[in-house]
Structure 1
Amino acid sequence: MQRLEKLSDRSQSTTIITKTTAFPLKPALTGAGIAIAIALGALTFQHFSKTPVENFLTYQSSEHQFAMKYPERWEKQELQNPLIADVLVFTAPKKNSADAYQEQMIVRIEDLPRPMSLEEYNKWSIGQIKTTFTDVNIIEETAKTVANNSGYAVVFDAKEGEKSLKKMQAWTLINNKAYVLTYTAEKSDYPEYLKSAEGMVESFAVN
């Protein structure tokens, strides 16, 4: 009888010990979860804090009768060369002193030699891309609204000298003119200002 009582006492003692050692584990796990959540939150904040936020200004050309928005940190230059159809270039700021190529958005206005359908111009323009640049790789072709008008867009890789570039070119035809907008960046940097470039194209309007 005494042996059974002793065994019973040991069993109760073991149960009590098991319960008391189980409880401290919960705060420890909770603390670890909080620490992980804080660390993930810090990483997320660091990631988004490095994402550039662009404020846009409006450019208006009374000479060429168009308007568009552009990032305020980008430099704009109006071109007056009668030998080329480029009329305006926006240039992104350098990322650092080692930045060898600055992203650009060029606006070109071409007088068509004759009335052309959009489909005809698409074929002609893509042919020009393939003959003007080297190592051309057409990545995407799609219908696109430009200046509230039916248009077209092409994304392609190409070489200019030693530079491996990626370009997005969008255009539309209005009043026997082709309005062409071209975003150019080094292939590795292309995504950085893509959203800004798309916003510039979407804001383009012909008066």
Structure 2
Amino acid sequence: MKYITILFLMMSLTGCSQEKLQEYKSEKGGFAFSYNDLWEKQLMNGHTVFLTKGDKEDKTNFRNNLNVIVQDLSQNPMSLEDYHNLTLQQMQQALGKNTVTSDKGVTIGGVNAKELFYTIPKDISKGNFLDLKLKQAYLIKNNKAYLITYTAKTKDFEKYLQSANTFFETFKLLN
């Protein structure tokens, strides 16, 4: 009887730890990644975004999300380090202060990248109606910058971070 109970417990834990992943490919953007069933794909303003399922939309209608933006740098080519410095400068200008809590070099899909964690504090005078926390990684290849961003209400950030990390860990360039 002990053996059956232990076997059942092991099978239950194994089943819980496996995620059913789906792959998303953007032929136009030239990238792919995997995501689990906590996220739903939606088209917004011509861009595909992934929103957390089950989020209760509040009066702000904000939902935690993941997205990838591809920027063409062919008119103004730059290194990853130059792009990183420009990003930090623009954040400082937009937010009026440095809200970066982590800044490091990483590898995404075999390509050197930068990873930032930062906050956007609620400041109605700047149009920020919510306290937000973001994880953003970016890489440059063939004069294109690929920005992968997870944005969540600060109170929800940790709740979805492990699931969001799947996007970052499985991101790959197709060309």
- Runs of 5+ consecutive residues of structure 1 not aligned to the other structure: 1-47, 82-86
1:186 alignment partner AA: K
Superposition TM-score, scaled by structure 2 size? 0.76
* Sequence identity (%): 28
The CA distance in 1 between the partners of 2:88 and 2:169, in whole Å, is: 21
Aligned pairs for 1:131-146 (under 5 A) are: 131-133=93-95, 137-146=99-108
2:64 alignment partner AA: E
The CA distance in 1 between the partners of 2:131 and 2:165, in whole Å, is: 21
The CA distance in 2 between the partners of 1:132 and 1:64, in whole Å, is: 27
Preserved CA contact (<8 Å) 1:76 1:88: yes
Aligned to 2:54: 94
- Runs of 5+ consecutive residues of structure 2 not aligned to the other structure: 1-12, 122-126
* Higher-helix-fraction structure: 1
For 1:194, what is the secondary structure of its paired residue? Answer: helix
Count of residue correspondences: 153
Residue 168 of structure 1, CA deviation: 0.6
Aligned to 1:117: 79
Structure 2 CA distance for partners of 1:101 and 1:78, relative to 1, 3 Å: closer
Preserved CA contact (<8 Å) 1:134 1:158: no
Structure 2 CA distance for partners of 1:60 and 1:164, relative to 1, 3 Å: same
For 2:131, what is the secondary structure of its paired residue? Answer: strand
Highest relative contact order (Cα 8 Å, sep 6+), 1 or 2?
2
Aligned to 2:157: 190
Preserved CA contact (<8 Å) 1:157 1:166: yes
Q: 1:105 aligns with which of 66, 78, 83?
A: 66
Superposition TM-score, scaled by structure 1 size? 0.65
